[in-house]
Amino acid sequence: PEEDLQKAFGTTQALTIAEAIIKKGEISLTAEQRKQFTENKRRQVIEIIARNAINPQTKTPHPPGRIDQAMTEARVNIDPTKSTDELVKIAMKAIRPLIPIRFEEVEVAVKIPPAYAPKAYGEVAAFGKLNREAWQNNGAWIGVVQIPAGMQTDFYALINRLTKGEAETKLLKH
């Protein structure tokens, strides 16, 4: 009733009460929902680390399984209320003593033959940050793409799929 609303929120205005609930209210989750939410966050953290981090000794990405194992070993606690970026920082700090790992970006020079250049350009440009690019007189495209080091394998797979293996690539900065 209205007296209860007045007592709890200091008003009976529906919009004011709704705003107070949204700003200050808490969501009650079942244990199953909380577990699912936490597991999804954990997977996101592992995915981000796997995509962006490499083993500095071998210059290769760590597989998600290895990152998951290191997080378990380091007893990384996933707090579902924290942001994914914050959790990635916490996880990286915890697993660094266990596995050699760091975030790194690489630059890859790509030359795509004229037959594939117009079609491939969009996907290649969307994959990473284009630092330099040039269209050749014969229709070929040359570009320097900056990508997370952990995504190199996926990038080369994309280039090969788009050009049927006819593109040339060279790792510039690693």
DSSP label at 100?
-
Same domain, 1 and 29: yes
Give the domain-ending residue among 103, 128, 159: 103
Give the domain-ending residue among 78, 103, 128: 103
Mean pLDDT calculated for residue range 88-96: 94
HSE of 50, CA atoms in CB hemisphere, 13 A: 17
Same domain, 139 and 98: no
Residue 56: CB atoms within 10 A of its CB come to 13
In angstroms, what CA-CA distances link 14 with 4, 8, 25, 28? 13, 13, 15, 22
Residue 174 has pLDDT above 70, yes or no: no
Same domain, 92 and 163: no
Same domain, 68 and 124: no
Q: Tokens 């210059």 identify what position?
A: 59
Same domain, 4 and 79: yes
> Can you give the CATH number for the domain in which 17 is found?
1.10.10.900
Which of residues 62 and 28 earns the better pLDDT score?
A: 62
Q: What is the pLDDT of residues 111-141, one digit of tens each?
A: 999 999 999 999 999 999 999 999 999 999 9
> Can you give the CATH number for the domain in which 112 is found?
3.30.70.240
Mean pLDDT calculated for residue range 62-71: 94
Per-residue model confidence (pLDDT) at position 27: 67
Q: What CA–CA distance (Å, rounded) separates 62 from 48? A: 11
Same domain, 97 and 110: no
The set of residues, in sequence order, having a beta carbon less than 8 Å from that of 87 and lying 6+ positions away, is: 41, 45, 78, 79
Give the domain-ending residue among 103, 122, 151: 103
Same domain, 77 and 141: no
CB-based contact 80:44 (threshold 8 Å): no
Range of the domain at 94: 1-103
Per-residue model confidence (pLDDT) at position 25: 74
Per-residue model confidence (pLDDT) at position 2: 82
Pairing of strands 53-55, 60-61: antiparallel
Q: Could you tell me the pLDDT band of residue 20, with boundaries at 50, 70 and 90? A: confident
